[in-house]
Structure 1
Amino acid sequence: MKRTLLVITILGALFNQGFSFQKKSKKDYLVTISTNYGEMQAILYDETPQHKENFLKLIEEGFYDSLLFHRVIDEFMIQGGDPNSKNAGANQRLGNGGPGYRVPAEINPQFFHKKGALSAARTGDRVNPERESSGSQFYIVEGEVHKREDIEGLPDAKIEEVAMELFRNNPEHELVKALREAYMEGGVDAIAKLAEERYKELEEATGRVIKLSEAQVEAYTTIGGAPFLDGQYTVFGQVIAGLDVIDKISEVETDRADRPIEDVRMFISVEYMRKKKITKKYGYVYP
């Protein structure tokens, strides 16, 4: 009897700490983003639960219906989700609206900015050092296809960029002190060598990505994307059908603020369906 109670107590503690012994669901949410230029289907990642829950909540509330893709840059991304865009005038500047809250960052290195990545927009590091996401604004990556030699290995320019970011934002960091000492002893070459040797520490200290994984390199050299965004924004989903719609929208004429001259509206719906059906219909294979 005592042993049974002990087991129950342990199991209860595990569940309270967030452990789950339930099997993965055989169903998932399929998101459909309808626009003037066609439909896109997307899935949302379980590994970014706060973003997934928030996005689904807003969809169910009809929050996104009739909003605009208000910022469009060819070979980069299309962005929308500003509630002020629903009835915006022709010359109204957009991009500052939201539901009144932000979502904590859930930046996960296994999800990166390949073409079709569904990611959360946010304000810059100076006013948002925690990299919290906008409560509603998101962007979908178009990007471009890169040459392998340009993005693999340890690019010197990237190491220098990330090192300078650490110098500016965290001058008392142990690695900054080590880099200063290296410079005093051996000049520019010494600091460059140490930064390369300790690039992983640079990545951890800044949240930036310096050396791309083989999966990233493969994606960026085939379907394309925007690798310079990796590690800075939360990628919380992926467009699995309708990638051509991203291309069509990205090519529309825009004004100086990157807003399309002719409005591109969105309507977003969601369907809870079997994963096997999603795989069969759209070719997305769940990990």
Structure 2
Amino acid sequence: MRNRIFQILSAACLVLIIASCGETKSSETPAAEGDDYLVTIKTSMGEMKAILYDETPKHKENFLKLVNDGFYDSLIFHRVISSFMIQGGDPESKNAAQGQPLGSGGPGYTVPAEFVPTLFHEKGALSAARQGDQVNPERASSGSQFYIVQGTVTPREQLEGTDQRKIITAFRECMQTYPESDLAKEYQTVLTENPGDNAAIQTKVESTLDRLTELTGRTFSMSEARIEKYSTIGGTPFLDDEYTVFGKVISGLDIVDNIASVQTAPGDRPVEDIRMFISVEVMPRAEIEEKYGYKYPVVLEQ
């Protein structure tokens, strides 16, 4: 089976693309030590609370700026797919007529990708949409479009071991995006010297996975923390290392479920518009933990 998967490698020398083709705001005063920003996403179907990760500072800063500027107010969740995710943040959706194609609007800039091994697409993950690899090999995020993961539960046995699909994706990226890299040249040498020998290129790739991760930023096996989440609360593991996760819904996951279950028209736009109003407030982290049950990671002193 593994050899069959690697037959694709020689010829190549389920990518899923998420298109990106509150009524009142708090002041913009930075959160003091011990405080954080609590995001409220109000919709006609209920309210969600979210936090933004410090580990993705560019995305956190950008999202807070847009919220404080009122950018998101009255936009709609324009793409909803049950058991997958709900997506919004296209400014063209504010006054969009029914049937109008959506998903390509934004503020006119992108945000550099910020992939962090400890942040992944568990249920409730707040993540940045982006254009596909063909036109966006750096995997830069849309300046405004985001999605919230619903996903599904995946059996533990399907998550353990090495993910061959991710290896293939990374190999292709290496050959197509970084053809002048030493690693790509080594792979090309193996392909040239061993035409049609899938085992040779398979062996070479599997012996250089650390270098392939360093070059592409992609990982090929899942941590126990990810496996535990994906096999219990669920999520979308195949999006990891592809799209930046920059926050998490910590209250209102039932609202995500409700929105994900609405009737949609062709193009995955809800038949009845679901509008958002996003606000942010500064709150002590201890209070966020007490009210919403979210536990901040312990930071050890140097």
TM-score, normalization: structure 2? 0.82
Give CA-to-partner distance per residue, 1:16-62, whole Å, 9 cap, x none. xxxxxxxx811111001111221111001112112111111111121
The 2-side partners of 1:107 and 1:116 are apart by 17
Matching residue of 1:148: 156
Task: In structure 1, list runs of 5 or more residues that go unmatched.
Answer: 1-23
Q: Which amino acid aligns with 2:289?
A: T
The 2-side partners of 1:56 and 1:274 are apart by 17
Matching residue of 2:272: 262
The 1-side partners of 2:119 and 2:98 are apart by 36
Q: Which amino acid aligns with 1:47?
A: E
Identity of aligned residues (%): 59
What is the CA distance between 1:137 and its match in structure 2?
0.8
Change in Cα spacing, 1:205 to 1:86, as seen in structure 2 (3 Å) is: same
1:207 to 206, 217, 239: 217
Matching residue of 2:254: 244
The 1-side partners of 2:98 and 2:127 are apart by 26
Matching residue of 2:67: 59
Is 1:230 equivalent to 2:217 in the alignment? no
Out of 51-60 and 174-183, give the one that drifted further.
174-183
The 1-side partners of 2:103 and 2:58 are apart by 22
The 2-side partners of 1:211 and 1:138 are apart by 26
Q: 2:77, 2:86 within 8 Å by CA — same for their partners in 1?
A: yes
Matching residue of 1:11: none
The 2-side partners of 1:47 and 1:261 are apart by 36
Matching residue of 2:38: 30
What is the CA distance between 1:124 and its match in structure 2?
1.6
Matching residue of 1:127: 135
The 1-side partners of 2:128 and 2:257 are apart by 19
Is 1:49 equivalent to 2:57 in the alignment? yes
What is the CA distance between 1:185 and its match in structure 2?
4.5
What is the CA distance between 1:273 and its match in structure 2?
0.8
Out of 215-224 and 103-112, give the one that drifted further.
103-112
The 2-side partners of 1:127 and 1:156 are apart by 24
2:206 to 187, 196, 200: 196
Change in Cα spacing, 1:139 to 1:127, as seen in structure 2 (3 Å) is: same
1:237 match: secondary structure: strand
1:253 match: secondary structure: coil
The 1-side partners of 2:166 and 2:70 are apart by 41
Q: Which amino acid aligns with 2:230?
A: Y
1:280 to 259, 268, 290: 290
Report the RMSD for the aligned CA atoms in angstroms: 1.7
Q: 1:207, 1:231 within 8 Å by CA — same for their partners in 2?
A: yes
What is the CA distance between 1:188 and its match in structure 2?
0.9
What is the CA distance between 1:203 and its match in structure 2?
2.0
Q: Which amino acid aligns with 2:86?
A: I
The 2-side partners of 1:177 and 1:149 are apart by 35
Q: Which amino acid aligns with 2:139?
A: R
The 2-side partners of 1:88 and 1:26 are apart by 41
The 2-side partners of 1:161 and 1:127 are apart by 16
TM-score, normalization: structure 1? 0.87
The 2-side partners of 1:281 and 1:74 are apart by 29
Structure 1 moving runs of 4+ over 6 Å: none
2:51 match: secondary structure: strand
Q: 2:164, 2:220 within 8 Å by CA — same for their partners in 1?
A: no
1:110 to 111, 115, 118: 118
Structure number having the greater helix percentage: 1
Is 1:99 equivalent to 2:107 in the alignment? yes
Q: Count residues with an aligned counterpart.
A: 264
Q: 2:49, 2:252 within 8 Å by CA — same for their partners in 1?
A: yes
Q: 2:151, 2:236 within 8 Å by CA — same for their partners in 1?
A: yes
2:118 match: secondary structure: coil
Q: Which has the larger radius of gyration?
A: 1
What is the CA distance between 1:129 and its match in structure 2?
2.2
